[in-house]
Structure 1
Amino acid sequence: MLNRTTLARPYARAAFEAARDADTLSRWSEALELASEIAGTEEMHYLSGDPRMGGDRLLELITDIGGERFDESFTNFLKVVIMNGRLELLPEIAVQYEQYRREAEQRIRVEVYSAKPMDDKESGDLAERLKARFGREVDMHVEVDESLIGGAVIRAGDKVIDGSVRGRLEQLGRRINA
């Protein structure tokens, strides 16, 4: 059985290409986010599993909720997703779509886990340093993790920069035990 990431990839790619060709990348981001939220509800999970609920009725229900935020192109995309029984993949499709979008826009998503809250100046300075390091615009998300003791851990794609006190203590412990 293929995993969710593999199953979602062709849909995410198709969504990205449709949005790019129509120059509506941000609109599709918003539509995918909303459609993912709708598809993720308990009610929608129940309805999509009901054999009496046909694909057309399911599509109509979702597009009624989405309203004007779903244009004709996005509605056609949703129809393909629903008719292929892949509605539950919408959250994964949205994640992968955003990866394609960031790549096309020369941006990178960076997760920062800081021991203490960062003020606007600190986060701005860090974003500028990361932009210089990665050569891309930075979409930075900051969370506080007091277990780090001090410093921060930065994750950007498959790169991890551990500048935390906890990380340094763990390194020291490994050296001592080696």
Structure 2
Amino acid sequence: MAELTTVARPYAEAVFSLASEAKRLDQWSEALRWLAAMVQNPEATEYVTNPKHTAQEVEALMLDVLGERATDEVKNLLGALSENSRLTLLPEIANQFELFKAQTEGIVDATVESAFPMTEEQKSELAQTLSKKYGKTVRLDVHENADLIGGVRVLVGDDVIDASVRGKLHAMAASLKN
């Protein structure tokens, strides 16, 4: 995973820089989502990675699916990736591009695990609290996880806020062992 991220980062940075200069972040975001979805399709992955197909054939197929989203810049990206047999990086490039875009727009993503379903009011209150803490707009991705017993666990970037009963029990057990 880390290697994939490392290899994809220069492409994502270059695309983000190009999109920022041209003020076309949304168009690039959409094109990259489509390209990533194509590559994640098992049949498409088989076609893309099959050595029987030339880079030009693979590129032509992807451009055909993209339709009007295939600008000259997108064609150049596809050409560079297909020539270097790196089309399978597209999902990670798209992911990193979205992270750069969110950072520029002052948005941070938070993954929330909750022991019980959260109401919209609870989600809103949590988002506001996290927005104050990080000084950015927070987008929540909420999942239920009954293993937490109670409370929530929040992941924001590398930060982990564990306010779950399970987390507190683990902390208590660790302190008792010392």
Q: TM-score range by the shorter chain?
A: over 0.9
Question: In the alignment, which residue of structure 2 is the partner of 1:176?
Answer: 176
For 1:53-72, what aligned pairs fall within 5 Å after superposition? 53-72=53-72
How much does 1:72 deviate? 2.8
2:37 counterpart of 1:37: yes
For 1:1-178, what aligned pairs fall within 5 Å after superposition? 3-178=3-178
Following the alignment from structure 2 to structure 1, what is the Cα–Cα distance between the partners of residues 106 and 49? 39
Counterpart residue type for residue 53 of structure 1 = H
Query: Where in structure 1 do 4 or more consecutive aligned residues deviate above 4 Å?
Result: none
Counterpart residue type for residue 140 of structure 1 = L
- Which residues of structure 1 form unaligned runs of 5+? none
How much does 1:57 deviate? 1.4
Following the alignment from structure 1 to structure 2, what is the Cα–Cα distance between the partners of residues 145 and 31? 33
How much does 1:99 deviate? 1.6
Counterpart residue type for residue 59 of structure 2 = L
Following the alignment from structure 2 to structure 1, what is the Cα–Cα distance between the partners of residues 134 and 113? 18
Following the alignment from structure 1 to structure 2, what is the Cα–Cα distance between the partners of residues 82 and 12? 15
Q: TM-score, normalised by structure 2?
A: 0.93
Following the alignment from structure 2 to structure 1, what is the Cα–Cα distance between the partners of residues 140 and 97? 18
Following the alignment from structure 1 to structure 2, what is the Cα–Cα distance between the partners of residues 108 and 62? 31
Counterpart residue type for residue 51 of structure 1 = P
- Which residues of structure 2 form unaligned runs of 5+? none
Q: TM-score, normalised by structure 1?
A: 0.93
Following the alignment from structure 1 to structure 2, what is the Cα–Cα distance between the partners of residues 155 and 163? 11
Number of equivalenced pairs: 177
Counterpart residue type for residue 124 of structure 1 = S
Counterpart residue type for residue 147 of structure 1 = D
